[in-house]
Structure 1
Amino acid sequence: MAVFVGISAHYHDSACCLIKDGHLVAAAEEERFTRIKHDNGIPSNAFRYCLREAGVTIADVTSLAYYENPAKKVARQLWAGLPGILNNPKQRFRIDPGRAQDEIRDCLGYDREIEFVDHHLSHAASAFYFSGFDEADIFTVDGVGEWATTTYGRGVDRKIDLFEEVSFPHSLGLFYSTITAYLGFEVNDAEYKVMGLAPYGSPRYLDKVLQLIDCWDGGQYRLNMEYFDFLGGDRMYSDRLCEHFGEPPRVPESELTQFHKDMAASVQRALEVILLDKVAYLHARHPTENLCMAGGVALNCVANGKVLREGPFKRLFVQPAASDAGGALGAAAVACVRHGEDRLSRERQKHVYLGPKFSARDVARVVNPSPLKQCALDYSEDPEGLIQATAERLADGKVIGWFQGRMEFGPRALGARSIIADPRRPEMRDRINALVKMREAFRPFAPAVLESKMAEHFEIDHSSPFMLETCRVVSSLALPAITHVDQSARVQTVNEHTNKRFHDLLIAFDKLTGCPILLNTSFNLRGDAIVLEPNHAIWTFAISNIDALVMEDFIIDRTERPEAWSEIIEMMGARLKKKRRAADAGRANVYSFL
């Protein structure tokens, strides 16, 4: 038995994964356990889960791999941060090259050799080794790893060659994040809001945005640093950038003007222009039909769609957990290959249902001792009845919390921890945005569609199971709840092999309505991590305006909620707050662009 564990931590989106006998069997982000969004601590909860899911102990671990090289990272931190870091006792601990090793030993109890894998090699491996391609070009783009911010490479069989990189502080990720901050959104969390806002504007500032960055021939580019202040300031942008665009930075949560919409459109278009130029260069260096992408910028699904449709590659694989969480997958895969090329499966990653699962019995143990028992409908003896009852509620316009099977790994809810609704109803998008998700009205929702009927409704000719590219909506149905202002959608295709219960629900809804599509968004409120366990699901259901909760074999309707509902909210709220406080107490806030 060969067991390889991958760990990412100490920046954002900490995660753990486990590869057993060449197959990825478990992966989870720490935030889902601690309820701290983008938790960056050592993923001790995720680590314990992965061992448990794989049926192994720490003694069985062949190798544990960490997703970056701490010594190289410290060199970059010192270059960027002196004298500020050394003079700040609250930040000084961050420049310890032994910190990752010490905390892995202290928090996880792992006392053998730790393999360190360069950050962008981890990203590259997370894409190429799980793509199913025997040969592909590899393009990784993020904020920063150790020094690299963009790499160009090639994968053949089980060998990866990263032959060129762009180095910090020059970064497409930080370029996009700087405009994100200027537009009043949170850096390293809300870049997708800029992407969603872009279609409401016109790229009238494209030329000015491109003046922030010098794109050279080949793979290199340089940020014009007079416009940026992330090397030591308290914000991403400098005063010079504000002068350049002639507007002050937007105050968070304030009104979004046409200027802000046009800025979003301009930076999105600039990113697409640069990415298309760089993938053309990569293809010219090593012509092939396949491209693999990873790194946080690869979560920009609009740009991904442009790269595939307008770029030189015929096929594209983006690691579904393209951010630092996916670095854990890449690190484990690199360690697996280092110990023997034939150990790692060559299969394409087909799904991300790699997290914890809770059985109907687990759910019953939560529901039955509580006042919920009086209104919970138990379909454990009638699974077809559960699907039909859920489809009928959706057809009646109900918003459903859908909690089924193993939790997804990565940032997208894909039918395991989802909020779902009828995409045909004009009011549904605004209702969920305002009353359930409690988020900005401009942000679009994604559709989940039966893979067998995807081409009837969307301009796409290949499966898209991970919501990683956008395409045009071409349906004869009116789908206002999932169609963005530019007539696009971020599609998830669903088949019976990867998520049978969700597939069955789509079939049942199609039979009732003639629509094989559901609105699908993550099961969480704004600012919270996606739910992991039944307690999280019930809490989110209780304090939101979700109409019904379908949790494994149970349906709980809001109209049937018990008189003691306030007792449930108080009980579960106290439990979750206690867990959050305990997690906060044991974790230092080390987030920084340094």
Structure 2
Amino acid sequence: MNILGISAFYHDSACCLLQDGVLINAIQEERLTRIKNDSSLPKKAYRWCLEQAHLSPSDIDCIAYYEDPVKKFARQLWSKNQNIRLDNLADFDPKNVEYSIREQLGYEGKIVFVDHHMSHAASSYFFSGFEDAGILTVDGVGEWATTTYGRAEGKKIDLFEEVHFPNSLGLLYSTITAYLGFEVNEGEYKVMGLAPYGTPHYASQVRKLVTMEDKGQYSLNMEYFDFMKGKRMYSEKLVDLIGVPVRERNASLDTCHMDIAKSLQVVLEEILIEKVTYLYNEVESENLCLAGGVALNCVANGKVLKNTPFKNMFVQPASNDSGGALGAACQAHVQITGERPAQSRIHQIYTGPSFSNDQISVVLGDFTKEALNYTTNEENLLDEVATRLKDGKVIGWFQGKMEFGPRALGNRSILADPRNPDMRDIINSMVKKREGFRPFAPAVIKEKCSEYFELDHESPFMLETCQVKPGMDMPAITHVDGSARVQTVSLESNPRFYKLLSKFETYSGVPILLNTSFNVKGEPIVCSVEDALLCFINTEIDCLVLGGYIFDRNEETVRRIKKILGEKFSTVQQRNVNSDVYTFA
């Protein structure tokens, strides 16, 4: 049984292949088109999924689409009647989705439409390994739902309560994101990273934006929002309420902005804890599954697990819309076969393209002869890389299959020594080219995690934060509030990365590395060899490790790589920068 899952036409479009209920591959369209948060029909991702599995469109039993176009169109018609700002309504004709799939993908078979929040719910539950669970999904908006509460057992998911648009925690967070001068659907991470620098002086004002109601319900106080009819997310009444001028894009960040971010984070956590506690009382399970864009708020996730009765938690590693493709495929599998997808708890999400040393050498040509080549001796490769890390070098690390979802997890990563007090500023300014306040995450050997962090369970996807234990001097990965967004690495999930961490411990005494995504601001994470080369020469990364090849940065190396890439090296620019307007789709 071959089922393709697709998410598209809003943001984070993606495609995945589920074969006999097992995830075979998955990739976001942005990684192939190089357009950040690409929302188009994932044609390249679709072709890649088929090619990797040696399938043709006729071999596909079903395409599962991650939302219901008819229900979504009903909301859009309602929105039009409310004079809500929309793009051309004709573009949202529900027939367009099926037409696009058939015409642009050349597919003639069965298409199943799965409700948006059911796709989120299934994407978490069916990969959690739990036999039963309570499920919470929270995002901006699906068809009508913005928050859903569910119970699951075996193969069945029951979403028993919904909060409907325009009441939305995702839109609340995006509104303050815009207020603080960051891009909607992109800058929410920045607000989360800014929050620990502040104090919740504005929490009482932020609480006025939301009215808490019985059961799982809440409502936004719409007088403070303008995303329904205006050209921005917030109204003038919100500006008056907060009492701080709206921050202009790229303006300086003052204490008041940090305090607003902290206040928003505190209020979000309060709401989630209250509603998750309600969910626990409604379901007979100690297991919690989270999905939806708000579930990527790793700070809130940690608070939820610590402050609610649930004992176990699983957060879908691609909780945004890209992960909806996985959930739609899983739910379609249940509908068609009557069986639960044959997927135990996932401990890794390396589902994208990989490049052998032979394939890398084809791209590099004769230049491979000048690289340090350790293709036949992994021990020497790891020695060389660990030594450079110990000496303060920043490493571009390109290995194995690319990760699915927003986090780099050790295959498309930038690595550095977490003990270096200057390393965070170095990488933010010279490599990532992003705001200096943003933190970096540690990757740690799973078995030694509890020696360094207040974390007693694995966290393979960087989806919750915890405190760094006292006395652990790792300033490059310790946030201003003493927290860290930990990735635990096991030998089973990523052998080469695990061995590099072990080797670095041999040289430094610390089984931890700073791990951030291999990209620059405004660009997707690198996918191909060419992407990695391009990022290397347009940053100040000290050393690039492509499979078994090591390239140290010098003028001759950069010159040779530019020659290999031709004109590509001059085309790096920030693309698809979002505005502070939330476009409803």
- 1:134 equivalent to 2:125? Answer no
Aligned counterpart in structure 2 of residue 461 of structure 1, from 447, 452, 456: 456
Aligned counterpart in structure 2 of residue 354 of structure 1, from 324, 330, 351: 351
1:141–1:151 contact (8 Å) kept in structure 2: yes
Q: CA deviation at 1:359?
A: 0.7
Residues 576 and 26 of structure 1, relative CA distance in 2, 3 Å threshold: farther
Aligned counterpart in structure 1 of residue 391 of structure 2, from 374, 380, 396: 396
2:232–2:582 contact (8 Å) kept in structure 1: no
Q: CA deviation at 1:93?
A: 3.4
1:119–1:327 contact (8 Å) kept in structure 2: yes
The Cα offsets for residues 94-138 of structure 1, whole Å up to 9 and x where unpaired, read as 321111111111221111221000000000000111110000000
2:61–2:109 contact (8 Å) kept in structure 1: no
Bigger Cα displacement from structure 2, 373-382 vs 56-65: 373-382
Residues 475 and 462 of structure 1, relative CA distance in 2, 3 Å threshold: same
The equivalent residue for 2:537 is 542
- 1:280 equivalent to 2:271? Answer no
- 1:509 equivalent to 2:504? Answer yes
Letter of the 2:77 counterpart: L
Q: CA deviation at 1:591?
A: 7.8
1:437–1:524 contact (8 Å) kept in structure 2: yes
Describe the SS at the equivalent of 2:433.
coil
Alignment of 1:120-199 (within 5 A): 120-199=117-196
2:4–2:16 contact (8 Å) kept in structure 1: yes
Aligned counterpart in structure 1 of residue 523 of structure 2, from 528, 536, 539: 528
Identical aligned pairs, as a percentage?
A: 55
Q: CA deviation at 1:563?
A: 7.0
Q: CA deviation at 1:246?
A: 1.2
The equivalent residue for 1:587 is none
Describe the SS at the equivalent of 2:75.
helix
2:227–2:582 contact (8 Å) kept in structure 1: no
Residues 567 and 321 of structure 1, relative CA distance in 2, 3 Å threshold: closer
- 1:56 equivalent to 2:47? Answer no
Letter of the 2:336 counterpart: H
Counterparts of 1:566 and 1:155, CA distance in 2 = 52
The Cα offsets for residues 217-272 of structure 1, whole Å up to 9 and x where unpaired, read as 21000000011111121111011111111122100111111110000000000000
2:233–2:582 contact (8 Å) kept in structure 1: no
1:535–1:572 contact (8 Å) kept in structure 2: no
- 1:366 equivalent to 2:363? Answer yes
Pairs aligned (count)? 581
The equivalent residue for 1:32 is 31
Describe the SS at the equivalent of 2:361.
helix
Counterparts of 1:540 and 1:395, CA distance in 2 = 23
Residues 26 and 204 of structure 1, relative CA distance in 2, 3 Å threshold: same
Counterparts of 2:207 and 2:404, CA distance in 1 = 35
- 1:257 equivalent to 2:250? Answer no
Counterparts of 2:470 and 2:397, CA distance in 1 = 25
- 1:320 equivalent to 2:320? Answer no
Instruction: Give the gaps of 5 or more residues in structure 2.
Output: none
Letter of the 1:119 counterpart: H
Alignment of 1:170-319 (within 5 A): 170-319=167-316
2:562–2:569 contact (8 Å) kept in structure 1: no
Q: CA deviation at 1:518?
A: 0.1
- 1:409 equivalent to 2:404? Answer yes
The equivalent residue for 1:432 is 427
1:85–1:91 contact (8 Å) kept in structure 2: no
Letter of the 2:550 counterpart: I
Counterparts of 2:283 and 2:561, CA distance in 1 = 62
- 1:379 equivalent to 2:368? Answer no
The Cα offsets for residues 464-519 of structure 1, whole Å up to 9 and x where unpaired, read as 00000000001643100000000000000001101000001000000111010000
Q: CA deviation at 1:573?
A: 1.9
2:36–2:524 contact (8 Å) kept in structure 1: yes
Counterparts of 1:240 and 1:481, CA distance in 2 = 40
- 1:443 equivalent to 2:442? Answer no
1:408–1:416 contact (8 Å) kept in structure 2: yes
Letter of the 2:339 counterpart: D
Q: CA deviation at 1:22?
A: 1.6
1:375–1:557 contact (8 Å) kept in structure 2: no
Counterparts of 2:477 and 2:567, CA distance in 1 = 32
Alignment of 1:473-484 (within 5 A): 473-474=468-469, 476-484=471-479
Residues 311 and 85 of structure 1, relative CA distance in 2, 3 Å threshold: closer
Counterparts of 1:434 and 1:470, CA distance in 2 = 24
Letter of the 2:510 counterpart: C
Counterparts of 1:277 and 1:289, CA distance in 2 = 16
Letter of the 1:433 counterpart: N
The Cα offsets for residues 32-85 of structure 1, whole Å up to 9 and x where unpaired, read as 000000000000111111112223221111111000000111111121134868
Counterparts of 1:376 and 1:21, CA distance in 2 = 43
- 1:497 equivalent to 2:492? Answer yes
1:149–1:165 contact (8 Å) kept in structure 2: yes
- 1:7 equivalent to 2:6? Answer yes
Counterparts of 2:79 and 2:284, CA distance in 1 = 36
Residues 154 and 566 of structure 1, relative CA distance in 2, 3 Å threshold: closer
Counterparts of 1:393 and 1:288, CA distance in 2 = 48
Counterparts of 2:94 and 2:221, CA distance in 1 = 30
Aligned counterpart in structure 2 of residue 553 of structure 1, from 548, 560, 573: 548
The Cα offsets for residues 159-202 of structure 1, whole Å up to 9 and x where unpaired, read as 00000000000000000100000000000111011111001000
1:127–1:319 contact (8 Å) kept in structure 2: yes
- Give the TM-score normalised by the residue count of structure 1: 0.95
Residues 227 and 343 of structure 1, relative CA distance in 2, 3 Å threshold: closer
Counterparts of 2:558 and 2:417, CA distance in 1 = 29
Counterparts of 2:474 and 2:95, CA distance in 1 = 53
Residues 434 and 486 of structure 1, relative CA distance in 2, 3 Å threshold: same
- 1:45 equivalent to 2:44? Answer yes
Q: CA deviation at 1:339?
A: 1.4
Residues 533 and 566 of structure 1, relative CA distance in 2, 3 Å threshold: closer
